[in-house]
Amino acid sequence: MGRSALWTAIRDTLVRDIGEGHYAPGQRLPTEAQLAERFGVNRHTVRRAIADMADQNIVFSRRGAGVFVRHIPTPYRIGRRTRFRQNLAAAGRVAERRILSLETRGASAQEAKALRLAKGDAVHVYEGISLSDGAPLALFCSVFPADRFPKILEHLTENGSVTAALAAHGVSDYTRKSTEITAKAASKTHATLLELPVGDPLLRTVAINIDSAGKPVEFGRTWFAADRVTLMTGDA
């Protein structure tokens, strides 16, 4: 086989491996030396195949860490009714949420203002990781007025669904009052939880959800891994 046929054959094999799930989004590929041994070629030929895959946005490299399979961004719509599970289902992705912490504490000044409470009033706080097809997509922190939703942490423990937990307290529907989107750099904590390098770009949203009477029911902050999501505004 000619040199061109060699690197293209290696590229096509690796692309097929990725498509069949042998290497998942975010997973590191074998080293150049390992791939060269697998295909019986020199590293230059392997490097050419990987470079072409990078040009096609299939993989990306991290200095000193290796070559990784790129996450296909998850479309995520922010509109009047922003629902995590519905958004991922519409994108053909499997939604999952993992609880990091559930606690009751005093509201900060920002939380109190958003929820129309006094600073220090009791709030329930739900923190966790949102996943798309098993890959970390975002970190979130949802804050609820404790007096109005006394048992919301119990409901969240059962299935992690904010919509179901609010419904259990008589809120059959809620809508998005406002959303602010800001670019941030991943801190060490965010990077560890989202499996990113420190300093990678994040998209932080700060949002307020209200009930049908216009009363705030949730103040939320979310930190999305920027290369794993496409945020879209407006209703479909």
Segment 50-78 shows an average pLDDT of 87
Contact yes or no for 210/192 (Cβ under 8 A): no
Does pTM top 0.85 for this prediction?
Answer: no
Q: Verify that 90 and 189 share a domain, yes or no.
A: yes
Which of 101, 152, 166 is closest to 123 using CA atoms?
152
Q: Mind listing the pLDDT tens digit for each residue in 172-193?
A: 999 999 999 999 999 999 999 9
The type of residue at 171 is V
| Residue 92: how many other CB atoms lie within 10 Å | 9
The type of residue at 84 is F
User: What CATH number should be reported for the domain holding residue 34?
Assistant: 1.10.10.10
Q: Verify that 187 and 220 share a domain, yes or no.
A: yes
Q: Verify that 186 and 133 share a domain, yes or no.
A: yes
**Token code pair at residue 212:** 């049908």
Q: Pick from 69, 87, 115: which residue ends a domain? A: 69
Q: Verify that 58 and 42 share a domain, yes or no.
A: yes
Q: Mind giving me the DSSP string for 76-99?
A: EEESSS--HHHHHHHTT--EEEEE
Q: Verify that 121 and 228 share a domain, yes or no.
A: yes
**pLDDT on residue 4:** 61
What does residue 189 show for φ and ψ, rounded to 5 degrees?
A: -65, -50
Q: Mind giving me the DSSP string for 113-177?
A: HHHT--TT-EEEEEEEEEEETTEEEEEEEEEEETTT-TTHHHHHHHH--HHHHHHTTT----EEE
Q: Mind listing the pLDDT tens digit for each residue in 107-131?
A: 999 999 999 999 999 999 999 999 9
Q: Verify that 84 and 172 share a domain, yes or no.
A: yes
Q: Pick from 69, 95, 119: which residue ends a domain? A: 69
Q: Verify that 186 and 221 share a domain, yes or no.
A: yes
Q: Pick from 44, 69, 94: which residue ends a domain? A: 69
Q: Verify that 153 and 55 share a domain, yes or no.
A: no
**pLDDT on residue 65:** 80
Segment 28-44 shows an average pLDDT of 95
Q: Verify that 123 and 162 share a domain, yes or no.
A: yes
User: What CATH number should be reported for the domain holding residue 134?
Assistant: 3.40.1410.10
HEC assignment per residue over 50-69: HHHHHHCCCEEEECCCEEEE
| Residue 141: how many other CB atoms lie within 10 Å | 17
Q: Verify that 195 and 118 share a domain, yes or no.
A: yes
Q: Verify that 200 and 130 share a domain, yes or no.
A: yes
**pLDDT on residue 145:** 98
Q: Mind listing the pLDDT tens digit for each residue in 40-53?
A: 999 999 999 999 99
Residue 67 CA to residue 86 CA, distance in Å, equals: 32
Q: Verify that 217 and 186 share a domain, yes or no.
A: yes
The total number of structural domains that make up the chain:
2
Mean predicted lDDT score pLDDT of the chain: 92
Q: Which domain holds residue 172?
A: 74-233
> DSSP label at 108?
P
Segment 82-89 shows an average pLDDT of 93
Contact yes or no for 84/74 (Cβ under 8 A): no
